[in-house]
Structure 1
Amino acid sequence: MPPKKTSEKSRNFILNVIDEDLSTGKHSSVITRFPPEPNGYLHIGHAKSICLNFGTAKNYNGYCNLRFDDTNPSKEDIEFVNSIKKDVNWLGFSWNNEVKFSSSYFDIFYQSAVELIKKNLAYVCFLSPEEIRKYRGTLKKPGKNSPFRDSTINDNIVLFDKMKAGEFKEGECVLRAKIDMASSFMCMRDPTLYRIRFETHHQTKDDWCIYPMYDFAHCLGDAIEGVTHSICTLEFQDNRRIYNWTLENLDAFNKPDRPHQYEFSRLNLEYATTSKRKLKLLVDNDYVSGWNDPRMPTISGLKRRGYTPASIRDFSERIGVSKVNSLTDISILESSIRDDLNLTAPRAMAVINPIKLVIENYPEGKIESLSAPLHPQNEEMGARKIFFSREIYIDKDDFTEVVPNNKYKRLSIDKEVRLRNSYVIKASRFNKDENGNISTIYCTYDPDTLGKNPIDGRKVKGVIHYVESTKAISAKFKIYDRLFLDSNPSQFDDMSLALNPNSLIIKNGYVEYSLKNVEIGKAYQFEREGYFCRDTESEGLVFNKTVGLRDTWSQ
């Protein structure tokens, strides 16, 4: 089946490789895979890989497998398996047939290891982990052979069977590939293929006590599934040599159309870390509330904060695919969500830092019902009902006692502003509390200005938002900022040194009456404040700030 056409914007070196493979007949179809280890929650870097693997397969009318490389039961959990499946689906992708697990292939992995032993290409080594590191040498100094490297084939078969039978202690021995201890590539200096783990596996239970290393299992899983293009990040570039060596030395998998590995640059995002280990430290040390804390770059955290699948897919396309590691500007991610929500999010009014405003010439006891559009550019969304009365709430920052300059567009004494979707008002006086803070503002309104533009030469440049007091709904607002103060927090051994103490500020204010029963997870643009969504994990009316507006309010 011919491939779909892709835009020049979407082109990358991987697509060029695939085009060549299809045109030469090396492959007749495209099969990719997304192979996460189920030892944590997915983050924005994984999202890039998901979009690339699933998107590439779809582009060529092929398919992508979701395969869990579950080869280390000491760090894995079914909780992570379920969360990963949920995240992939949420991003808008579906995998081919059933979810796959490397553990389903443990019998094949074991037989492959036995084949390498019989070919004198693997041996059981009783060096301790510290001794193995010492024997491996350095980048400038070649390694030296293990004293167990020249054991006979028969001895190694017997010893490997004993490993499988649980007759050795954990850490007592490992199965190593016999490659080249003088290789200029450290990963080729007799890498470990199997180790002993007396752990209950979430899929195979206690059937096995030996588990393959990732590098060994990964390439075999690709070959078993007929993957054509194994796409991974640059940190596995040297490991491609193990990938090729393993498949080339196993009779069942050394074929012209066997999988090949291609590496692209991983996503490093400003003011965030995509290290799974460091993300776990943030959770374990209670620097965040959990893996789905809206400040976390996890997919579940981004979802809870209000990011949409479309925005993350768009972000992945914007940053593209290359072979050069770099730090991605976080404003690209923020721009993707703004562009999406600007089109889809209905508008509403919320007062996050409320102060009472009394309109002295408005009739007492009267509550007026007004109409406001749900979206200024999309009439099909319809309208919502808002209210107006003698007493309303405005934001404290929208009034000043002393005008700072002639560009100031908000409310001050004897200055007119328009209330959003409502009347023009003019401030006349204010009260202060015992601490000297302004507590109440008094204004008058012009009843002839409802829905009208400035007339009779009156220039009303400022527009502020408000919420009518008697029908206002109390709400909590979680104002999220970047979790780190430094744009590259991963450079710190102790990332707590770079934490932003103001990454979460909680405010208590009001939203308009139309949001009384707003759907959980629903996104809104709170006019002049930014994009917010109702929190999925909190009781009551709690809104998470997703991102600010493109054009922030300036004086």
Structure 2
Amino acid sequence: MEPEAFTGFLATAGWAKFAARSYWLLWPFIYLFARFIKLPTYLNAPLRLCEKSATSQDAGPSTETLTDSGTKWPLAIFSHGLAGGRFTYSDYCGRLASQGVVVIALEHRDGSGPFVIPIDEDTGKPIPKLYLQTEEINWEEKPAGKLPLRVDQLKFRIREIYEAFESFKDIVRGHQGDTTSLDTFSHWDSFKDQVDYSKVLLTGHSFGGATSLSLLSNPPPEGCTQLPVEKVVLLDPWMDPLPLPGTLPIAYEARPPLLIMNSEGFTLWKEHFTVLEQVVADWRKSGGDECASLVTIVRSQHHYYSDFGAFVPFGKTRALGLLVLDTAHKLTMAYIRGSLSSELKGKRSMEVEPIPGKDKYAMSPKFDPNDPAVAELISQFQSIGLSSSKATEAARGAKSAASLKELIKELIQAHGLESKGLDEKQGTLVASLATQGAKLGATEKSYIVNAIVDHRLKSGEQLAAAVKYLSTHHPPIDDVEFDKECGVGIELSLGDIAQRVNTYITSKAPAGWPALSGAIGDLKSTDLRWATPLDVKNAVEKAFTDLFGTKEEAKAKAAKEAKKPADTAAAASTSKGEPTPASSAAPERVVFEEGFLKALHKPGGNPQINPKLREQHLKTTGGHVFTRFPPEPNGFLHIGHSKAIFVNFGYAAYHNGKCYLRYDDTNPEAEEAIYFESILETVRWLGYEPYKITYSSDYFQELYDLAVKLIQVDGAYICHCTAEEIKANRGGEERGPRKACVHRTRPISESLAEFENMKNGKYKPGEAILRMKQDLEDGNPQMWDLIAYRTLHAPHHRTGAKWCIYPTYDFTHCLVDSFENISHSLCTTEFILSRVSYEWLCDMVEVYKPRQSEYGRLNLQGTIMSKRKLLKLVTQGHVGGWDDPRLYTLVALRRRGVPPGAILSFVGNLGVSTATTNIELAKFEQTVRQYLENTVPRLLMVLRPLKVTIENLADDYVHFIDKPLHPKVPSLGSSRIPFTKHVYIDAEDFRTEDSKDYFRLAPNKTVGLFQAPHPITCVSYKTDATGAVTELVCRLEDGSDGKPVPKPKAWIQWVAEHAPSGSPVVIDETRIFHSLFKSDNPAATDDFLADINPHSLDVIKGAMVEVGFWPLAKRCMSDALRESRERTEKALKEESVGEGVGSGAAGHNDTPMPTAEQLVGNEVVRFQGLRVAYFALDKEARVGCFAEPDSATPGRREGDKLVLNRIVSLKEDAGKKAV
């Protein structure tokens, strides 16, 4: 007996490459475990002759083989899966061999295995090599049947199977020769005429299963005859690589019998299992039910069909892996012998069903009305008024007939329901109560049953409301409140429903059929929730039809209207002097009325370990929504935080609630005053005022007291383990078995004393910690005895040197939420696992337990969000600071000029769900562009000025033009600009050589000037010594020469030279920002600094803007200051901030306060440079007239410096590159 090659360098290196891991990290694991694995196989052994006894010991562990004396051995061909090879299915293939099946186990060379052994073309010798390339296995997620590279692999694999079969036939016919891996094999004669290759068992696992199906679905490769497949056994086939259609054996006149063994994991992969079921159904169409069988081995996983399931030499995984292999072998042999039905006799028929409320599926026993437990349940349902069909339907919906039977029996006996004469509707409600109210106490169940019997509860909606109400309200039950919450006594006729629907539509004025689902959702939150849902739906659809026409008519009308703006825009671009406007900003979605946020519980709807805690909470909050935004003051907020601010402040505001701004200041080493100020400033800039500003440090004493209480109830202990020891006890890198810390069982009194020692400074950092005593057997890492307190000898910005122990986030967060009576603790999904420990801790110390709900975070492609990486960008000088406009910190976006309303519109339009949102930068910029479109004025601007002299105008000619600052928004006002002999246009609007597809200025060509009285024609141009154009000489086409005025095909922007009116306004610097990184995901690169775009900033000097800039800038700044002062005064007057816990508490006066200056900066001066881009004034700009009274005439002052930042580009004009 020889050991298997599991421990060879080649296999280990191959798997390391396949798993994208270091060989040196994987090798010790392989060495420790795989070196003990041996195969019960003779290397290079001859084939046993059929004439020998079929019970010879040489046959292996089984004494029964598939051949008798004088016959030939059957043949099987096995195709391996991804990361597999001929060595990784030794158990399955070896057992087949021991039963008398000759198995051709291929080593596919398509790149799907860890290594291959090709033949060197020069020497003819085998050369083992790692064949797999990383780019060949990192597949992007694609729909089923659409993996083209996998299809290429399938073709390659099928060819290999045919060639292997043909080669083996030659051996059986008597061929003798060399092989690629058996250096000493010399028993060729043992195969001659001993194997029956006229009938083949085709089998494979995973990708090998797909290979087998693909082989059956296609004709043989060129030059090959069809493989004589007699039977097919597929082990957990992976269907995704198969092109659609491609699962039917079109190459075979009669489908060979098929057995599919599925793992439980692949069965619960619903989309995949559906495809597999269709394969079986199609197979049976021609061959009957017996032609194809689909079996799931319960508790099996995908890799259990290979040797990997038994790879670990001990433990549950190995036991299950061996059990699955044993079952797979038994079923295969029974199938080959034709006794599969007998082998499956007594096995359960299962159904795959969705788990309510989750995007997951589970297997449950298939419904059988003849099952004794089910039959008794049906009988019980009939005894409470259900008809035979309804009783059967109710039993079918039950997850467990046995458990439900006892619940129904309990209700029937406790209330004598058999003698109550219940009608079918009442019986259905009682049956529903047995499942929905299974966790209710006997008193609560009895109350609901009585309400059903006396007809107070009449519908499923009312029953659900009753169960929900009594889940949080315990006896004595308030009848009046119960009736109100459950809609008791509300009777709504069709007329009543129609009246309420019409009232809603009149008040809300929905825009059309797209608002249908929102309208139905809104109406269901009124007393119409107690009406029949179908009646409500029909009433709303009728009202919409009366208002907007049928759905089909509305769609046709919308399509027609959508075409009009496109036609109009096309005409405008060729016939008017005004550029085509961008699309208007889309209306912001009311995200708080839909999806995730709409489904959140009402205040008080979160269960408590003690009902009194709920009552105290509601008494304190008055039943209002209370949320919090709890940032750590160790960095500047970024675009991702805007979603958290929007969700927490916005949800509270929408429900007339309150939102705290709480600084989570439990790490004094990382906190700086600048971050506290910046966070408040950013929150206010986005439009929100905190209810109160608080700090986690305000509650240090309360937190300490609860830590003591947690120790007293045996929920915490002092631990002296190192970080490495803690990690090892939690299973280490290998995620092995977990074990308790040696300090976990120390006496409570000892932990109390040691905690006091920690508080008194006896221990250095790392020498002692307080850990929560949770549940090490829980699969959730957040229950593995988290750290509650650690020692840290660092002064705190608020408490000074009072504390040398500080609570962790896991200990602080939930308790401070409790102290502040937060009704909705809203956070991102990376904290889902923390919800269990969050609730555990609140219950252990018996405090009010807020409900944590998680939504998906917001990510922008092409950006960096990590504080550590942002810090490196700043400190190493790659950017100009945390507010560099190329970054996506909120202070940087503000400096760039992005309006806060655009950010909120962006977040709101994305919606809020549990899915992480990964958005392209282009979508963010488009939202900003749409927001600015109708909210900022438009000024004439030339980025790279080129002087134009109009030869037929007098030197002192001047014509003043009153132009609107926005053609569609009159309220933005107008400006008065001069038109003179000398004007400037953008250098990009002139070419020395004309072309047919070019419509702007060129020699002898006419172009219009926006808002100017007449077009101009280029007569000549001047150049400098380098040939660069320095000036154009043009003619004003005013008709004074008696010739017809030529009609221009394009209009361009311009700025006049007129010193008396201060025109043009020269811009010292115009900064054009591009993406800071070259890739879409710089965070995923090995060196994100190497991904920096060296051309991310262009600085243009000497741009020109019309003279209307000065009054516009002055007005923008004055209006912003006035609004800011009014808002700040109102906030302070209403005591929105500045009072209560956390605001000056405990003698502290360092809490940042709201000021008008926080909301106003140079960035409030925004405008669109016509045909250029959107711009804002940078913070480095100096504008003297801002400090002057409003009565002073605005204009340039000595020492002024104008610096503009491009906020976002415009859409590209035809033939003109966007700036």
TM-score, normalised to structure 2's length?
Answer: 0.43
Shift of 1:448: 5.4
Q: Among 1093, 1103, 1120, which residue is 1:500 paired with?
A: 1093
Measured in 1, the distance between the counterparts of 2:976 and 2:964 equals 9
Aligned to 1:106: 700
Aligned to 1:479: 1072
Range 335-344 or range 112-121, more displaced: 335-344
Aligned to 2:1051: 463
Q: After superposition, where does 1:55-94 map in structure 2 within 5 Å?
A: 55-94=650-689
Measured in 2, the distance between the counterparts of 1:542 and 1:553 equals 29
Measured in 2, the distance between the counterparts of 1:21 and 1:108 equals 23
Aligned to 1:152: 747
1:447-494: CA deviation from partner (whole Å, max 9, x where unpaired):
359xxxxx9684312111111234222211011122222222221242
Aligned to 2:1027: 436
Measured in 2, the distance between the counterparts of 1:187 and 1:278 equals 27
Asked if the contact 2:596/2:855 (under 8 Å) is kept, the reply is: no
Structure 1: segments with no counterpart, 5+ residues: 450-454
Amino acid paired to 2:766: G
Q: After superposition, where does 1:288-307 map in structure 2 within 5 Å?
A: 288-307=879-898
The share of aligned pairs that are identical, in percent, is 36
Q: After superposition, where does 1:413-452 map in structure 2 within 5 Å?
A: 413-422=1003-1012, 423-447=1014-1038
Q: Structure 1 residues 261 and 474 mapped into 2: Cα distance closer, same or farther (>3 Å)?
A: same
Q: Confirm whether residue 212 of structure 1 aligns to residue 807 of structure 2.
A: yes
Measured in 1, the distance between the counterparts of 2:744 and 2:1086 equals 37
Aligned to 2:816: 221
Q: After superposition, where does 1:313-352 map in structure 2 within 5 Å?
A: 313-352=904-943
Measured in 2, the distance between the counterparts of 1:161 and 1:191 equals 19
Larger CA Rg, structure 1 vs 2: 2
Measured in 1, the distance between the counterparts of 2:799 and 2:696 equals 11
Q: Confirm whether residue 524 of structure 1 aligns to residue 1167 of structure 2.
A: yes
Measured in 2, the distance between the counterparts of 1:394 and 1:420 equals 11
Aligned to 2:1084: 491
Amino acid paired to 2:772: A
Measured in 2, the distance between the counterparts of 1:211 and 1:42 equals 24
Q: Confirm whether residue 195 of structure 1 aligns to residue 781 of structure 2.
A: no
Shift of 1:442: 1.8
Measured in 2, the distance between the counterparts of 1:104 and 1:426 equals 73
Aligned to 1:231: 826
Asked if the contact 1:142/1:181 (under 8 Å) is kept, the reply is: no
Q: After superposition, where does 1:163-202 map in structure 2 within 5 Å?
A: 163-202=758-797
Q: Structure 1 residues 170 and 395 mapped into 2: Cα distance closer, same or farther (>3 Å)?
A: same
Shift of 1:180: 2.9
Measured in 1, the distance between the counterparts of 2:659 and 2:906 equals 21
Range 425-434 or range 219-228, more displaced: 425-434
Q: Among 129, 135, 157, which residue is 2:723 paired with?
A: 129
Range 290-299 or range 328-337, more displaced: 328-337
Q: After superposition, where does 1:398-413 map in structure 2 within 5 Å?
A: 398-403=989-994, 405-413=995-1003
Asked if the contact 2:885/2:895 (under 8 Å) is kept, the reply is: yes
Amino acid paired to 2:1107: Y
Q: Structure 1 residues 553 and 290 mapped into 2: Cα distance closer, same or farther (>3 Å)?
A: farther
SS in 2 for 1:344: coil
Aligned to 1:536: 1179
Shift of 1:384: 0.7
Amino acid paired to 1:466: W
Measured in 1, the distance between the counterparts of 2:603 and 2:798 equals 39
Measured in 1, the distance between the counterparts of 2:598 and 2:857 equals 17
Higher strand share: 1
Structure 2: segments with no counterpart, 5+ residues: 1-484, 486-506, 519-588, 1115-1161, 1183-1200
Q: Confirm whether residue 381 of structure 1 aligns to residue 1042 of structure 2.
A: no
SS in 1 for 2:907: helix
Asked if the contact 1:528/1:553 (under 8 Å) is kept, the reply is: no
SS in 1 for 2:812: helix
Aligned to 2:422: none
Shift of 1:406: 2.5
Amino acid paired to 1:490: A
Aligned to 2:630: 35
Amino acid paired to 1:217: T
Range 523-532 or range 331-340, more displaced: 331-340
Measured in 2, the distance between the counterparts of 1:348 and 1:247 equals 59
Asked if the contact 2:1022/2:1032 (under 8 Å) is kept, the reply is: yes
Measured in 2, the distance between the counterparts of 1:447 and 1:132 equals 87
Q: After superposition, where does 1:244-259 map in structure 2 within 5 Å?
A: 244-251=839-846, 253=847, 255=848, 258-259=849-850
Measured in 2, the distance between the counterparts of 1:374 and 1:466 equals 15
Measured in 2, the distance between the counterparts of 1:438 and 1:513 equals 25
Higher RCO structure (Cα 8 Å, ≥6 apart): 1
SS in 1 for 2:961: strand
SS in 1 for 2:840: helix
Q: Structure 1 residues 379 and 281 mapped into 2: Cα distance closer, same or farther (>3 Å)?
A: same
Measured in 2, the distance between the counterparts of 1:23 and 1:145 equals 32
Amino acid paired to 2:740: N
Shift of 1:135: 2.7
1:65-88: CA deviation from partner (whole Å, max 9, x where unpaired):
111111111111121111111111
Asked if the contact 1:14/1:262 (under 8 Å) is kept, the reply is: no
Asked if the contact 1:526/1:532 (under 8 Å) is kept, the reply is: yes
Asked if the contact 2:719/2:771 (under 8 Å) is kept, the reply is: yes
Aligned to 2:1133: none
Range 466-475 or range 288-297, more displaced: 466-475
Aligned to 2:597: 14
Amino acid paired to 1:542: V
Shift of 1:282: 1.9
Asked if the contact 1:170/1:196 (under 8 Å) is kept, the reply is: yes
Q: Structure 1 residues 206 and 23 mapped into 2: Cα distance closer, same or farther (>3 Å)?
A: closer
Q: Among 903, 922, 934, which residue is 1:312 paired with?
A: 903
1:361-400: CA deviation from partner (whole Å, max 9, x where unpaired):
2212433322221111122332212122222221111111
Shift of 1:275: 2.4
SS in 1 for 2:1035: strand
SS in 2 for 1:131: helix
Question: What is the aligned-residue RMSD (CA, Å)?
Answer: 2.5
Q: Among 280, 295, 298, which residue is 2:871 paired with?
A: 280
Asked if the contact 1:22/1:29 (under 8 Å) is kept, the reply is: no
Asked if the contact 1:227/1:259 (under 8 Å) is kept, the reply is: yes
Measured in 1, the distance between the counterparts of 2:632 and 2:718 equals 26
Measured in 2, the distance between the counterparts of 1:148 and 1:21 equals 39
Aligned to 1:51: 646
Shift of 1:531: 0.7
Measured in 1, the distance between the counterparts of 2:927 and 2:766 equals 48
Shift of 1:111: 0.9
Asked if the contact 1:142/1:183 (under 8 Å) is kept, the reply is: no
Amino acid paired to 1:406: K
1:394-422: CA deviation from partner (whole Å, max 9, x where unpaired):
1111111223x423221111111111211
Q: Structure 1 residues 457 and 515 mapped into 2: Cα distance closer, same or farther (>3 Å)?
A: closer
Shift of 1:23: 11
Measured in 2, the distance between the counterparts of 1:393 and 1:349 equals 11
Shift of 1:123: 1.5
Measured in 2, the distance between the counterparts of 1:287 and 1:92 equals 31
Shift of 1:542: 0.6
SS in 2 for 1:17: coil
Measured in 1, the distance between the counterparts of 2:1052 and 2:1100 equals 19
